[in-house]
Every structure is written in C-alpha cells, then in structure tokens.
Amino acid sequence: MTTRQPVVAIDGPAGSGKSTVAQLLARRAGLQFISSGAMYRAVALTALREGTAAMSPERLAAIAAALPIRFTTDAAGTVRTWLGDEDVTDALRRTDVTEVAAVIAKIPAVRAHLVARQRAYGAEGGIVMEGRDIQTVVFPDAEIKVFLDASAEERATRRWKELRAAGSPESYATVLADVRARDRSDRERAVAPLHAAPDAITLNTDGLSIDAVVAKLQEIVEAWRTPR
C-alpha cells in the first residue's frame, strides 16, 4: 500500500504567476501538474477551428465532453498539452484563444464536463491543479488549498515587462486596464466566480520572486507530509 499524496488546489487571478509556480511545485514535490485553464483553452481552440457554427452552447458542451486532451512532460520538465496527436501548447496561448476561452468558461454545461474530468485526474491524489475554481468547486476537500494573489498593479507590471521584452508596444495603462477587466470577468461571473475558499491559505506574491513563492508552497506540502 502506498501513502496517499495530496491534492494541491491553487487558484488566483490572471497574472498571479500561478501556472509557473504550480508547475515548479509539482516537479519539486514529485506531484502531477494539471492546468485547468489549458482545458478551457483547448475547448476554445477546437471551437475556433470548427468555425462559428461551433459556438452554440450545445456544440461547445459536446466539444468539452469529447475533448481528446492529454498532458506530457518534455525533457526540460515543461508540461505539454496535446489534442489527439497534436502538441497545442503554444497554440493555446494565442490571443484569440484567450478571448474565446473567457467566454466559453461562462457556459455551465462546458464547466460541468471539464470539472468532471478534473476530478477524475485528482481522484487518486498526487496532483497540483491550478485555475479559478479548483479550491472552491473542483476539490472543495483538497488536502491543500492555496489562493495566490497579487495586486493588479504588480500583475500589470509583470505582464508589461514581458510584452516589452517581446517587442510589443502596449502602454502600462493599457495593460493595467486589461488586467482589471479580466479580474472583473473572473470575479463577477455567475458560475464559479474566482474567490478564496474560507479555509484556503492566501499568499500575496507582491514583491516575491517565483522561487520564493515555490519555496513557501513546498514548505506547506512538506508540513502536510510530516506525520503529526
């Protein structure tokens, strides 16, 4: 018999660094990593490829139900997302996919199918999953729940620096307005709005490096693993 490993449920606003941090935590703590956002993005990518006819709630729910998604880890330790035999990791980051994902994530039938799959991934424990409703809806009984927060200004600064490094001309004010709009959309939506579960550990990452955040999370996992 092997000891059960924890489900680590991590939520937070866009740009809080949760994807990077959750992936590193999973690798260092020997747990599997799943990005639930990649699943919403994969539904969006499939719908975009099928064209406008795919945008009815019924068709989107059918796409979510039959999504041929799987995750692998490459030699560098980066998680890759696949749809059938196609590596869609990079395609999922496209701006049009991001925009459509935010819309389809509001459809209850799409969420129901994806939530069922997310629960199946975590049924045996040993997983780090990040998203918006993981500690509240998907795994309300997760062994470890974390809400990773950061101020809108800090998240906009991080994003603006990334864009500038990539040669994009957006002003800081535009990026900050985008961050605030995405926050409103995530926090104020009717289904599965983003919020911290009452029993979650909230970590504010303002001014903290990625390594410092991962180290804090590793401490939390190790404390859980230490017999009381």
| Residues contributing to the site for ligand C5P (CB under 6 A) | 14, 36-37, 40-41, 101-102, 105, 131-134, 186
Compute the distance between CA of residue 84 and CA of residue 70 in angstroms, rounded to an integer: 8
* Residue 221 structure tokens: 């996992």
**Whole-number minimum distance, CB 53 to ligand C5P, in Å?**
22
User: Is residue 129 within 8 Å of residue 7, measured between CB atoms?
Assistant: yes
Pairing of strands 79-83, 86-87: antiparallel
Closest CB 118 distance from ligand C5P, rounded Å: 8
For residues 14 and 213, which CB has a smaller minimum distance to ligand C5P in the complex?
A: 14
Residue 101 exposed, middle or buried by CB count within 10 Å (0-12, 13-18, 19+)? buried
Which is closer to ligand C5P, CB of 133 or CB of 149?
A: 133
| Residue of this chain nearest to ligand C5P (CB atom) | 37
Chain-centroid distance, C-alpha 29:
18
Shortest approach of ligand C5P to residue 205 CB, angstroms?
15
Residue with structure tokens 């990452």?
A: 205
Order of all β-strands in the sheet with 69-73: 69-73, 79-83, 86-87
Tokens coding 28 = 């260092």
Nearer to ligand C5P, 29 or 110 (CB): 110
Q: Shortest Cβ distance from residue 50 to ligand C5P (Å)?
A: 19
CB of 133 to ligand C5P, least distance (A): 5
**Of 27 and 119, CB closest to ligand C5P:** 119
Query: 3 or 116, CB closer to ligand C5P?
Result: 116
Alpha-helical (H) ranges within the chain are 18-29, 36-50, 57-65, 95-104, 108-122, 152-165, 172-188, 210-225
| C-alpha 196, offset from chain centre | 14
Nearer to ligand C5P, 160 or 225 (CB): 160
**CB closer to ligand C5P out of 102 and 197:** 102
Q: List phi, psi (to 5°) of 7.
A: -90, 120
> Least distance (Å) from ligand C5P to the CB of residue 65?
17
User: Least CB distance from residue 226 to ligand C5P, whole Å?
Assistant: 29
